[in-house]
Amino acid sequence: MNYDDDGVDGGAGDDVVAPVALSEDRAFEAALRPRTLEEVVGQDRVREQLSLVLEAAVARGATPDHVLLSGPPGLGKTTLAMIVAHQLGAALRITSGPAIQHAGDLAAIISGIGEGDVLFIDEIHRMSRPAEELLYMAMEDFRVDVVVGKGPGATAIPLEIPPFTVVGATTRAGLLPGPLRDRFGFTAQLDYYSADDLHRIVTRSAGLLGVEVTDDGGREIAGRSRGTPRIANRLLRRVRDYAQVRTGGVVDRSAARAALDLYEVDEIGLDRLDRAVLRALCQSFGGGPVGASTLAVAVGEERETVEEIAEPFLVRLGFLARTPRGRVATPAAWAHLGLTPPAGGQLLLDDDPT
């Protein structure tokens, strides 16, 4: 499989197809990505299912069904898309939903696709509606209708395209329209990783980066990584920096703890924002209920930041609940902060419609 230097196959529509970023973090992420399904740690059921889909298609000499990967950020959706292309020996083209705001944007990409290529659309739930409707036809019939002109004189010109595979990634599968979901032949839900799997990932990444990590040092990093490989690799790099400067380069448990405390990541993975949300909720608002917008103002962040970055992890830990009246701190949150909850507090655990 031949790629350009940025790892993305070139061609028409490159003004819409985003190249892989060359920042330091992205460069490290690219270096640490598994290349095959056998190298992937964790997600055993998804790996087995996806392997069957790909192996069967290769045996038939056919293009695999379209693949939808769903799950929280940082669990490996982009990595799996790259592996799909690698396993098929196909060219990979990468774009994202926010970059496709017009049907013409998508038509420009699809018109340059070769037979058997893999088109990866990240954040596919954020595509515009006109582009979605064009994608329906491209995925099902392998053709698109390009509209030339406007008004009564507009003409639709059918454009045949060779069979290809769409790999879509989404963090919010519920926002995908039914007709789009139905066109994916295989849907995978990625789950958070166990501490043991994250330990294996940290150990593998340390080897690739040339970092000496002891077993207990790797487990300390894994335990604070929020079940997410991307966070584990990021914390490993920060601990590596600390160890290189202050402890002779070896990442043991003591170095990992000192480094992560310095970077304000506590023993269960809460960071500065998480703790600020909990403290505001408990100390400023008596444990709630309080609206999301008010809570965001109290910690000096945008509402979207609190809802999308902090809340999912706090809810998963059982520290915060969304109720019809607002956000509420659970007894576990008070205990983690070392505070005593007010007497007679009532917790309503219905989903918050907002």
Shared domain check, 165 and 91: yes
pLDDT of residue 68: 92
Shared domain check, 317 and 201: no
pLDDT at 22 over 50: no
pLDDT at 202 over 60: yes
Q: Which of 149, 170, 189 is the last residue of a domain?
A: 189
**Strand, helix or coil for residue 44:** helix
Shared domain check, 35 and 133: yes
pLDDT of residue 219: 93
pLDDT of residue 14: 43
Shared domain check, 154 and 33: yes
Largest CA distance in the chain: 74
Q: Which of 133, 166, 189 is the last residue of a domain?
A: 189
Rounded to an integer, the average pLDDT of 216-245 is: 91
Q: What is the CATH number of the domain that holds 199?
A: 1.10.8.60
pLDDT of residue 148: 59
How confident is the prediction for the chain on average, in pLDDT?
A: 81
pLDDT of residue 139: 84
Convert the pLDDT of each residue in 282-327 to its tens digit. Answer: 888 888 788 888 888 888 888 888 888 888 888 888 888 888 888 8
CA dist 252 → 81, 194, 221, 292, 309 (Å) = 34, 21, 10, 39, 29
- Answer yes or no: is 282 within a domain: yes
pLDDT at 353 over 60: no
Query: For residue 253, what are the domain limits?
Result: 195-262
Domain count, the chain: 3
Which range (102-106, 226-230, 236-240, 340-344) has the least confidence?
Answer: 340-344
pLDDT band at 199 (very low <50, low <70, confident <90, very high): very high
Report the C-alpha gap between 132 and 156 in whole angstroms. 17
pLDDT band at 153 (very low <50, low <70, confident <90, very high): low
pLDDT at 1 over 70: no
Shared domain check, 215 and 162: no
pLDDT of residue 354: 45
Shared domain check, 204 and 185: no
Q: Which residues are catalytic?
A: 77-78, 122, 171, 230
Shared domain check, 166 and 30: yes
pLDDT at 147 over 70: no
- Answer yes or no: is 164 within a domain: yes
pLDDT of residue 21: 41
pLDDT band at 196 (very low <50, low <70, confident <90, very high): very high
- Answer yes or no: is 180 within a domain: yes
Question: Is the separation of the CB atoms in 93 and 117 below 8 Å?
Answer: yes
Read off the tokens for 140.
Answer: 């099902």
Convert the pLDDT of each residue in 69-120 to its tens digit. Answer: 998 888 888 899 999 998 888 888 888 888 888 777 888 888 788 888 899 9
Rounded to an integer, the average pLDDT of 7-19 is: 42
Shared domain check, 216 and 68: no
Shared domain check, 105 and 253: no
Nearest to 78 by CA among 23, 21, 12, 134: 21
- Answer yes or no: is 343 within a domain: no
Q: What is the CATH number of the domain that holds 329?
A: 1.10.10.10
Rounded to an integer, the average pLDDT of 48-62 is: 89
CA dist 199 → 41, 298, 299, 309 (Å) = 10, 36, 32, 23
- Answer yes or no: is 277 within a domain: yes
Shared domain check, 227 and 130: no
Shared domain check, 146 and 63: yes
Report the C-alpha gap between 261 and 138 in whole angstroms. 50
- Answer yes or no: is 344 within a domain: no
Rounded to an integer, the average pLDDT of 159-177 is: 85
pLDDT > 90 in the chain, percent: 16
- Answer yes or no: is 5 within a domain: no
Shared domain check, 288 and 177: no
Rounded to an integer, the average pLDDT of 25-38 is: 73
Q: Which of 262, 288, 303 is the last residue of a domain?
A: 262
pLDDT band at 269 (very low <50, low <70, confident <90, very high): confident
pLDDT of residue 152: 65
**Strand, helix or coil for residue 82:** helix
Q: What is the CATH number of the domain that holds 53?
A: 3.40.50.300
More confident residue, 309 or 56: 56
